[in-house]
Amino acid sequence: MLVTVNVVLFSVVVLVLFRLRKAGLALSRQVLAGLLAGVAFGLGLQFVYAGQAEVISDTLVWVNVIGTGYVSLLRMIVIPLVLVMMIAAVVKMRDVAALGRIGAAVIGLLIATTMIAALVGIGVANVFGLSAESITQGARELAGAQMLTQRYETVAGLGMADMLVRFIPTNIFYDLTEARPSSIIAVVVFGVLFGLAALGVAADSPARGEQIESAVETLRLIIMKLVRMVMALTPYGIFALITSVVAGANATDILELLTFVLASYLAIAIMFGVHALLLVLNGTSLAVYFRAVWPVLAFAFTSRSSAATIPLNVETQIRDLQVPTPIANLSATLGSTIGQNGCAGIYPAMLAVMIAPSMGVDPMSLDFIAGLVAIVAISSFGVAGVGGGATFAALIVLPAMGFPVTVAAVLISIEPLIDMARTALNVNGAMTTGVITKRWLGRGLENQATP
């Protein structure tokens, strides 16, 4: 009975949010309303049903129908969006050299900001005096350690060459199912090759070239229409997701590791400041930028998935920031797998600093810092843009430093809380990269900025 009442109240709030849309309220304000409503509803469940965890859990089962459904819809269009937009970008551009310059600039910026993020993580961990030995390992953490050890065995043998090979598709239909962590990059590679082949056919037969360009443009318009249809559901998805996060939070776990949480959020905030500084130095108005991107960051925060955020990322860059389509598509897709500032930069660097003293290593030594930053940069290739990607990055970085991987399990209980902000930082890094690349290389591509 109580669960039914909660679901009815939840439905009423969804209806109110729908009324805001019908009233013509801007999408960004609808998202803000959904975010605030989710916080209030989640706290209300915690307060009213304190000590009745089963009621909250049963309520969240129904709340997650909307939240998980929304994320599923976004993930549904990720691969079609990446494939079609990549083919369209190549066919439209007709300039392979320009595509190469864009790719090099995007990857260079992503890796450079990830190295800065690693330095920030090292600095914050040292300032806070974080130590792996100071964290108590409970039964849940020890169980997680065993799981991580088993998972590590599947990635331990991956070197830089192995990770690069993973980006090459061997079966495009397999990668279209997003079966591998590197599937998105593999689809990007296939899309580029397919587009180049289309340009070759167009060169041989101009008549067929016009048909190809017309067909690709039609597909692109259909995909973008689908993206906008799903984006219209964002306020309800955000409401459900944040309700689940707030209502399901474990205050005990958070308090036990509060210092690490605070240090992590400080490092993330500093990196947001670095992004802002880079944007200002490249002539971008921060007011215009953050007004455009914050709904995307809100979804990234609640979904904990850089990959699921790709459609919103691409759409916002093209529509609101006037980033040309090739740049927006490459920065969003590559940024979900390469050079994630939060998951692949800050997190593994902080863990390495925490472990170093117990291994007899001075975390302030220049040799240690230089080696760690280099390993973070290399290992940031191919980290999956989904919840848990930071743990995967740690499984690559820590063994490369000669450190044990089981320490990452100590932080499993608070991972969702920190991972939300890390994911928002990852996505902001990708969008910052897109805007800066536009400033550097966007001349001549302006006609591709509007979908």
Q: Which two tokens stand for residue 193?
A: 């090759």
In tens, the pLDDT along 245-267 reads 778 766 655 555 678 888 999 99
CA-to-CA separations, 41 to 27, 294, 298, 420, in angstroms, rounded: 21, 21, 17, 19
Predicted confidence (pLDDT) at residue 412 exceeds the cutoff of 60: no
Phi/psi at 165 (5° precision):
-65, -35
Count of CB atoms within 10 A of residue 365's CB?
11
The per-residue pLDDT for 142 is 45
Query: CB-based contacts of 253: which residues, under 8 Å, 6+ apart?
Result: 413, 414
Query: CB-based contacts of 272: which residues, under 8 Å, 6+ apart?
Result: 425, 428
Predicted TM-score (pTM) of this structure: 0.71
Residue spans of the domains in the chain: they are: 2-448
Predicted confidence (pLDDT) at residue 442 exceeds the cutoff of 80: no
Average pLDDT over residues 411-419: 67
Q: What's the number of CA atoms in the CB half-sphere (13 Å) around residue 406?
A: 10
Q: Would the CA dihedral through 261, 266, 272, 275 be positive or negative?
A: negative
Q: Which two tokens stand for residue 47?
A: 């307060």
H helical segments located in 336-447: 347-355, 366-379, 389-400, 415-441
The per-residue pLDDT for 383 is 59
Alpha carbons 106 and 259: distance in angstroms, whole number: 34
Q: Across all residues in the chain, what is the average pLDDT?
A: 81
pLDDT exceeding 70 applies to what percent of the chain?
80
Tell which wins on pLDDT, 411 or 63: 63
The per-residue pLDDT for 181 is 64
The per-residue pLDDT for 113 is 94
Contact 17, 239 (CB under 8 A): yes
The per-residue pLDDT for 73 is 85
- pLDDT category at 102 given cuts 50, 70, 90 is confident
Query: Which one, of 389, 388, 410, 408, lies nearest residue 398 by Cα?
Result: 408
In tens, the pLDDT along 181-199 reads 667 778 878 988 898 899 8
Q: In this structure, which CATH number among 3.30.1540.10, 3.40.50.10490, 1.10.3860.10, 3.30.420.40 belongs to the domain 2-448?
A: 1.10.3860.10
The per-residue pLDDT for 450 is 47
Q: Would the CA dihedral through 356, 357, 362, 364 be positive or negative?
A: positive
Tell which wins on pLDDT, 245 or 10: 10
Average pLDDT over residues 210-234: 85
CA-to-CA separations, 272 to 119, 159, 328, 339, 438, in angstroms, rounded: 14, 30, 20, 15, 19
Tell which wins on pLDDT, 250 or 312: 312
CA-to-CA separations, 289 to 106, 196, 203, 276, 320, in angstroms, rounded: 18, 33, 39, 9, 9
